[in-house]
Every structure is written in C-alpha cells, then in structure tokens.
C-alpha cells in the first residue's frame, strides 16, 4: 500500500512538473517594474523585487514577424529572388564560375560545378484545405508558436553560415578570375 501511495505521489509530481515545463502553454509573467523609465517602446529600466533590471517586453506577433522577415531577407540575400531578378550570393558565385570557365579567361569552356540551390523556407508545411466554422473554404496550417520561433532561428543560423560560405567562395573565385585576367592582359 505504501508503495502504491509513493508511486501515485511520484506520478502526480511528474504530471505537475511536466505541465509547468510545457513550452507551448501560455504562462503568466509578472512584467510590473517599479519606478520604471521607458528606454524605448519595448524596453523599461526599473526595479523588480528590489533588483535593478532592464526589461524588454515584446508582443509575440511582432517578434515572430521580425524573425520571419529576417530569415526571408537573408535567404534572398544568399540565393537571390526570381521575382525581383536578384542573383544573391549564390548567383554571383555561379556567374564568377561561368567567367572562370570562359576560354578568354584561361578556362576550358566547360561550366565549373556549383552546388545546387537549397532553399530552406520552401519546405514549409502544406495547407490543410477545408471548411471553417463559418462554412468558408480555407487553407490552414497550425504550429506551436515556440516550435515556429525555434525553427526560424535554426533557419537564420543556417543561412548566416551559408552566407559566410558563399561570400568566401565568391571572393576566392573573383581573386582567381582577376589573376587570370591579369595574366591574359600581359
């Protein structure tokens, strides 16, 4: 009997602790700051529980919009944007390799290998299509807010890494192209 009570208490504590750590549950947060002075629209300087604090408070719709915008902009900078005709770093590298392969620049006339474009935001979930509560035909995707933010932060880290790689590869390619042009001019 004692073992069953212990197991029941252990199970109850696990359930309660798992509820408290569920990253998708909305948690109440105390954001009151005494003697607060606004530094900007999001940041307040003041006292909380006797401690001097700088508190940044953002609305999550704006935070999510901001990170999504940063990711889409970064992806366009890395891979270009067909709609607007921009090449991106990938396109600049491809053009440089085309010039390197040109016989006038000491190339053999064959296109040098360039890795394929690997856009990451195109892999987002497809819409579930159906009728909503107002009998309107809609498309819906649903995702936990925390998971979406984590996913877009991952995209951002990956794209920053790819931007650095393409900048380096492009610099190497342009240096080689300039060296070849310098040799052909002499």
Mean pLDDT of the region 42-63 = 91
Predicted local distance difference test score (pLDDT) of residue 122: 72
Task: Please report, in angstroms and rounded to a whole number, the separation of the first and last CA atoms in the chain.
Answer: 95
- Quick check: 9 pLDDT over 80? no
pLDDT digits (tens, 9 = 90+) for 97-121: 999 999 988 888 888 777 888 888 8
Closest by CA to 73, choosing from 159, 154, 157, 131, is 159
Name 32's Cβ contacts closer than 8 Å, sequence gap at least 6. 48
> Other CB atoms closer than 10 Å to residue 155's CB: what's the count?
20
97 in Cβ contact with 87 (< 8 Å)? no
The residue ranges of every structural domain in the chain are: 60-116+145-185
- Quick check: 165 pLDDT over 90? yes
Beta bridge partners of 86: 81
**Which pLDDT band holds residue 186 (cuts at 50, 70, 90)?**
very low
* Predicted TM-score of the model (pTM): 0.71
pLDDT digits (tens, 9 = 90+) for 124-158: 667 788 888 998 888 887 888 999 999 999 999 99
Burial of 175 (0-12, 13-18, 19+ CB in 10 A): exposed
- Quick check: 17 pLDDT over 60? no
Which helix (H) or strand (E) segment holds residue 157: the answer is helix 145-185
């Amino acid at each position: 009997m004692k073992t069953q009570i212990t197991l029941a208490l252990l199970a109850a504590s696990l359930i309660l602790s798992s509820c408290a750590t569920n990253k998708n549950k909305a948690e109440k947060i105390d954001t009151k700051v005494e003697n607060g002075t606004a530094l900007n629209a999001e940041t307040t300087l003041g006292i909380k529980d006797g401690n001097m604090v700088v508190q940044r408070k953002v609305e999550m719709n704006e935070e999510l919009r901001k990170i999504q915008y940063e990711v889409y902009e970064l992806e366009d900078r890395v891979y270009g944007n067909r709609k607007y005709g921009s090449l991106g770093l990938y396109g600049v590298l491809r053009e440089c390799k085309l010039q390197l392969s040109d016989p006038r620049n000491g190339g053999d006339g064959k296109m040098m290998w360039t890795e394929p474009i690997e856009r990451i935001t195109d892999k987002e979930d497809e819409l579930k299509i159906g009728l909503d509560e107002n009998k309107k035909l809609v498309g819906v995707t649903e995702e936990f807010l925390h998971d979406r933010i984590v996913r877009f932060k991952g995209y951002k880290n990956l794209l920053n890494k790819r931007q650095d790689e393409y900048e380096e590869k492009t610099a190497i390619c342009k240096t080689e192209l300039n060296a070849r042009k310098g040799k052909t001019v002499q």
